[in-house]
Structure formats: C-alpha cells, structure tokens
Amino acid sequence: MKNIFLISISLLVIGVFGRIIPHPPNFTPIGGIIIFSILKLENKVFKNLMPLFVFWVSDLIINNILIPYNFPQYYQGFTLIGSSFIYLALIVIIVSLKFYIKHYSKHIILGSSFISATLFFLITNFGVWLGSSIYPPNFLGFLICLGAGVPFFGNNLLSTVIYSFILIKGYELAKDISLKKYLN
C-alpha cells in the first residue's frame, strides 16, 4: 500500500506540474500517465482512475487559479469539471489501450502513443467542432476543424512517447534501486 501511495503522489505531481508549467501546446504527461498506469499499476481502481484524477486536479488548478490570474477577462466563475470531450477522450483511450497493451515493449509504447494521440485528437476536435460557431456545421466544417488541430497532434504524440518511456524507465530504475537496498 505504501508503494501505491508513493506512485500515486508521484503521478499526481508529474501530471499537475506537466500541465501547469510553460510547455508547447498539448505537450503534457497525461498520455504517458495512462500508458504507465495500464502497464505498471496492479490495482484496477488506480489503473483506471489515476489518469482521470491527475487530469481533474490539474484542470481545477488551471481553470480556477491560473486562468483567473493570467486571463481574468476569460474567467467565468468556478469550474469543477472542464471539457467533457476531453474526459470522454481520456476514458476512451484508457478502455482502448487496456485491450492493446499486454506487456512492455518499445513497439507497444509507440503503438499505444499513436492510438492515444489519435483518439484524443479525433474526440476533442469533434467536441470543438460540435460546440463552435467558427466551423460550418457539416462534414467539411469538421475536416477544417481537424486541419486546424493538426499542429497540436504532433506535440501530443511526442509527449506521450517521451513521458511513457520516462515514467516506465524511472519506475523500473526506482524498483531496482529499492530492491538492491533490501538485498544488501
């Protein structure tokens, strides 16, 4: 239980700081946290809910502290939950990757990162298109919206690959160090 608490706190800190520190658009640790959680967390509740919890906590900070401070003209009051399409995307990614990820390999991480970034891109851009008056309410408008989102896709894909490897290798290194400590 001590390890799951430490891992959970670590993921929360990495996830929150990864979203609130200055970073390129969509270059966040959330995709990597999802892949790490599916691969390394044994507790099913933590495996499924940890990425959503990390995103929710960081959303609370961004929407209710950072936006009012940095962009008061856009603040419309306390926000408990951000975009429902983002949370839908995260849930679909978690469920989809649970069927895809069976073991750790570089190919699995790359494939999982591509699946994660693609699902996030399609679902969130659909939400933008659906809720926006900028894009025409037809298939062409949806394609235009997707086109506008392409620059963000690369950052999401790259960050998911990088954070997945960092989290997994960091976890394995910490496990090896603690195991060696107890063996000596």
| 153-176 pLDDT, tens digit each | 999 999 999 999 999 999 998 888
Look at residue 77 and give its three-state secondary structure.
Answer: coil
Angle, alpha carbons 97-57-73 (nearest 5°): 120
- Asked if residues 100 and 111 have their Cβ atoms less than 8 Å apart, the reply is yes
| 81-90 pLDDT, tens digit each | 888 999 999 9
Segments making up each domain of the chain, as ranges: 2-183
